[in-house]
Structure 1
Amino acid sequence: MSSCDVNGYEELSNKMKTKLGLEKSPVAVKLVLREEDIPEGISKIDSKLRHCEMVQKAAQGETFYATVEEQLCKGGAGAIGLMEPPEKVKTGEMYYSLERFSSLGAAKRTVDAIPKIDPIMKAIIYAPLETAPFDPDVVVIIGNSKQAMMLAQAMVFTLGGRIEADFAGIQSICGDAVAGPYTTKKPNFTLGCSGSRKYAGIKTDDVIVGMNGENIGCVVNALEAL
Structure 2
Amino acid sequence: MNINEINKTGRKIIEVMGLTTPPVAIMLTSNIYRIPESIDKIDNNMSHCQMVNKIREESVQFYAFEENQQCKNGAAVMGMRELNPEFANGNELYNEGHYKDRYLAKETIQQIPKLEPNSVKAIIYGPLNKADFIPDIVLFIGNPENIMQISRGMEQEANSFNCWRNASNY
1:146 alignment partner in structure 2: 145
Residues 136-180 of structure 1: per-residue CA shift (max 9 Å, x gap): 000001111111111111122256xxxxxxxxxxxxxxxxxxxxx
Shift of 1:119: 4.8
Shift of 1:25: 0.7
Deviating above 3 A after TM superposition, structure 1's stretches of 4 or more consecutive aligned residues are: none
- Name the amino acid aligned to 1:97: N
Residue number among 79, 82, 100 corresponding to 2:80 in the alignment? 82
1:108 alignment partner in structure 2: 106
Give the aligned CA root-mean-square deviation in angstroms: 2.0
Residue number among 47, 50, 70 corresponding to 1:50 in the alignment? 47
Residue number among 74, 91, 116 corresponding to 1:118 in the alignment? 116
Shift of 1:87: 1.8
| Length, aligned pairs only | 161
Mapping for residues 163-174 of structure 1, pairs under 5 Å: none
Confirm or deny that 1:10 pairs with 2:10.
no
TM, length-normalised to structure 1: 0.67
- Name the amino acid aligned to 2:40: S
CA distance in 1, matches of 2:107, 2:127: 35
Residue number among 12, 17, 22 corresponding to 2:19 in the alignment? 22
CA distance in 2, matches of 1:7, 1:134: 10
Shift of 1:18: 0.9
1:200 alignment partner in structure 2: none
Find the residue that maps to 1:156 and give its secondary structure: helix
**Higher mean Cα deviation, 70-79 or 35-44?**
35-44
Name the CA shift for 1:67/1:25 in 2 (closer, same or farther; >3 Å): same
- Name the amino acid aligned to 2:66: V
Mapping for residues 152-167 of structure 1, pairs under 5 Å: 152-158=151-157
Shift of 1:10: 2.1
Name the CA shift for 1:140/1:158 in 2 (closer, same or farther; >3 Å): closer
